[in-house]
Structure 1
Amino acid sequence: MKVKKYIASTMPEAMNQVKKELGESAVILDSREIKTSRFFGLFGKRNIEVLAAVDPKPTRIRQSSREKKQTANDSVMPTKLPMHLQKSESSREKVSTRLSLSNRYPHPVESTLEQLQQNGIDEDTRAHVLQILLSTFYKHDEKVTESELLNVTKEFFKHEMASSIESTEGHSKFIYLLGPTGVGKTTTIAKLAADAKMKHAKDIAFITLDTYRIAAIEQLKTYAKILDIPIEVAYNAEDLEAAKEKFKDKDLIYIDTAGRNYMNSEYINQLKEIAQFKEQDKLMCVLSLTAKEEDMETIYQQFSKLPVDTVIFTKADETSTYGQIYNLWKKHHFAIHTLTIGQDVPNDLLTVDAEVLAQLMVGEKSW
């Protein structure tokens, strides 16, 4: 692997130098703004320093037709410029965000990327992580192990997802759980209520709007009896308001909504009419990690028509990949409340932090 440093007045000028000398298959390992001084430190000039690399004898790896087409169109560009460089470049000088993946990279780098791919991390994120890994690898004279690169990758996800963790302060009194059929809303409500009551001594009540399935009502009533929590069934907006009034002295009121095919906007509108959501209400979207990522995306987009800003991921023990959590979060930047596993109330409710999420993204943690 040939590595060389370039200094130029602008990023496009540096890119032209890299392309001219190293060719189209070069990758950018690092870029930063530097200041060169003249006349005893006076009259300094700001330049761009770029660290680029190329394999003199690249080995081709198998690509999809989409990747082949993209590789043919891409020029040598970094995946992401530092913020100070982004601000200094004009709109005409913005660089491509896709990194060429046509070369075979050092084994520790490739192994880490393969792990991310197997875990379902999207292609653009893998390309960005690739630049970070290559920069780390060559800055340390190629003396970096796969384990160390995995830690670097974990720190990337930890930093990325630090803002995804929902604050435990300022929770609303009325908490709605929304989601399609079969994601485990009713069991999740029982877990949340049991946790709030047993661990935090909260006074709880249940309301269910899921009147389409008798079994769902009976299931929540069973949990209510076991946990000694009062429950009301609301068939319309008037019933819901009456139930809220009845439980006005409670600390938290969990509201179970009907599990429907929410790919149909009609059901979203029906829910909106019955619930008549208030600004202070908390709406949580419940998604199953066993669902296809495309379906999760469609469902969340449907629920985004409502004031939903928090997600609970269920069935974390029934999947071996967790990259879809990051992929979906990257698009919508919602808060992540909890993950759930199994049917045990309340023990199978998992509070997550950035460290746990990062471990899931790199494949270090599973159930």
Structure 2
Amino acid sequence: MNNIKTFTASNMAQAMAMVKAHMGSNAMILHTRSFKQGGFLGFGAQTVIEVTATVEDEKPRRRKTTRTPRPALNAPTRPPLVGPSNPQPMAGDLIRRTYAAALSEQNQQAQQPQQNYENNSTFNPPQPIITPPPVHPASHRPNPVQPQVSKTQAKESARTTESAKQLAEEMQAVRRMVERLMQQQASRGEEKPADLPDQLFDQYMNLLKQEVAQEIAQEVVTQVSHRLTEKELENPAKVRKAVRDAISEFIPAHHEQWDLEPTGDGRPRTIALIGPTGVGKTTTVAKLAATFKLKQAKHVGLITLDTYRIAAVDQLRTYADIIGIPLHVCNTAAELDSAVSKCSGCDVILIDTAGRSQRDDPKLEQLKKFVDTANPHEVHLVLSSTCTQKVMLEAAKRFSDVRTDRIIFTKLDEAVSFGVLLNVSKQVGKELSYITTGQEVPHQIEPTAPLRLADLVLSGELAS
């Protein structure tokens, strides 16, 4: 039976902490969402994170009792059931030893025939030792209370056997996963994780847990193993820092921060945001406009092509009125060309486009014509970090024809893990410009810093 609970907090890290505190580390996230609460016209509203989670109920434990049944007169004392004498290994040690065992067997397969797993495994769970009941002579039969003791011992034996069987099944599943992983690595000639020092191995497993692609995780730990000395590899802090630095090198971030580079053609720096529907383009444009106007004291021109959604135009117009910048609404390429000309005296022009399905070729072609008309210096593809890696990669591929040269990751506050962002960044190969961490305008947007994203990947939490 599952317990399903919903938690609300001001940020994702706090919400996840509440889930862990109330439901334990085995809780499974079913759904996350964020919404605004309070405020006026989007200003001053508080972001609320809602997380729904579930956890399997544990099987009820048998109540312990201090009462011991009194043995019958002249009945021989039966030895107690003997369970495992050693404590269960921790999960990390268990997996590490499984890797080592699988590697050892893989190296021995060429010299000797494959043996049965039950006889060969390093992790055969200890079987309970059950002493058979003694045979009593007819003249010395035990008291009738003895059969009740035997029944109790039989139940305990069944429970112990069931627990051992369950452990064996779990270890076989881990073993199969490890062997598949090792076979994939062997086919590519990669160094096997079992050869890694303990601290580096732990970091490798953490990267996989955060959904970093296996080949990237392998490359990261390989680089670190070559950069650190044998003694440094025993230091957890130094290993983590080296892994963090290596991850940051995979992130092609743009380093201009909030500064606007000279355009070289005498035009205002023109920035267009494109992307699928619902990724947060309009809110991101509003954040950029407010930041350049209020924090950088720039003269900003705002253009929207998102006339398909009346709410989007009204939302952007409200923001434009509050921060005191002009908004131009365009339906055609000619209107767009005129609006760009009217903004010629600005420092920066921001263009919000309508969301497009990456599979709608006619709409993508229309978007391409708009972008060609505006001739922006930067075209940012906006991707939501709540999407799967497959969806983000498909969007990046289909929008590449629209002169995309940079990536914005939005909704990091709703992301389940950040390893996917690293995978997409490496595969797409475009510079990362900004990340957004909530819906508040003008806050919760920041230039992408490689070390900042590396920290997110390692910790799995969005720390402010």
Using structure 1 for the length normalisation, give the TM-score.
Answer: 0.71
What is the CA–CA distance in structure 1 between the aligned matches of 2:180 and 2:313, rounded to whole Å?
A: 48
Alignment-derived partner of residue 63 in structure 2:
none
Q: Per-residue deviation at 1:364?
A: 6.8
Find out whether 1:197 has 2:293 as its counterpart.
yes
Q: Gaps (5+ residues) in structure 2? A: 1-103, 109-120, 124-173
Alpha-carbon deviations, 1:107-131, whole Å to 9, x = none? 3233211211121211101122332
**Aligned counterpart in structure 1 of residue 401 of structure 2, from 305, 317, 326:** 305
Using structure 2 for the length normalisation, give the TM-score.
Answer: 0.57
Q: Per-residue deviation at 1:134?
A: 4.5
Find out whether 1:165 has 2:257 as its counterpart.
no
Q: Per-residue deviation at 1:289?
A: 0.6
What is the CA–CA distance in structure 2 between the aligned matches of 1:25 and 1:227, rounded to whole Å?
A: 68
RMSD (Å), alpha carbons: 2.9
Alpha-carbon deviations, 1:33-56, whole Å to 9, x = none? xxxxxxxxxxxxxxxxxxxxxxxx
- Partner of 2:409, secondary structure, is strand
| 1:203-222 alignment, distance < 5 Å | 203-222=299-318
Alignment-derived partner of residue 67 in structure 1:
181
* Letter in structure 2 aligned against 1:165: H
* Letter in structure 1 aligned against 2:239: L
| 1:9-48 alignment, distance < 5 Å | none
Alignment-derived partner of residue 264 in structure 1:
360
**Aligned counterpart in structure 1 of residue 212 of structure 2, from 105, 121, 130:** 121
Higher percent of residues as strand: 1
* Letter in structure 2 aligned against 1:205: G
Given the superposition, is the C-alpha separation of residues 61 and 113 from structure 1 closer, same or farther in structure 2, using an over 3 Å criterion?
A: farther
Find out whether 1:156 has 2:246 as its counterpart.
yes
Q: Per-residue deviation at 1:71?
A: 4.9
- Partner of 1:274, secondary structure, is helix
What is the CA–CA distance in structure 1 between the aligned matches of 2:432 and 2:334, rounded to whole Å?
A: 32
Alignment-derived partner of residue 146 in structure 1:
236
* Letter in structure 2 aligned against 1:268: L
Alpha-carbon deviations, 1:155-193, whole Å to 9, x = none? 2123343x5224342466221110111111111001001
What is the CA–CA distance in structure 2 between the aligned matches of 1:271 and 1:249, rounded to whole Å?
A: 25
* Letter in structure 2 aligned against 1:100: K
| 1:299-338 alignment, distance < 5 Å | 299-338=395-434
**Aligned counterpart in structure 2 of residue 240 of structure 1, from 327, 336, 340:** 336
What is the CA–CA distance in structure 1 between the aligned matches of 2:432 and 2:226, rounded to whole Å?
A: 31
Q: Gaps (5+ residues) in structure 1? A: 1-21, 27-56, 75-95
What is the CA–CA distance in structure 1 between the aligned matches of 2:281 and 2:350, rounded to whole Å?
A: 11
Q: Per-residue deviation at 1:295?
A: 0.4
Give identity over the alignment, percent: 31
What is the CA–CA distance in structure 1 between the aligned matches of 2:269 and 2:226, rounded to whole Å?
A: 48
Contact 1:58 1:104 in 2 (8 A): no
Contact 1:113 1:126 in 2 (8 A): yes
Contact 2:307 2:331 in 1 (8 A): yes
Q: Per-residue deviation at 1:257?
A: 0.4
Alpha-carbon deviations, 1:56-105, whole Å to 9, x = none? x999844278536535645xxxxxxxxxxxxxxxxxxxxx4x3334x475
Larger Rg: 1 or 2?
Answer: 2
Alpha-carbon deviations, 1:270-328, whole Å to 9, x = none? 11123324655321111111111110010011111121111111111112411122211
Contact 1:209 1:257 in 2 (8 A): yes
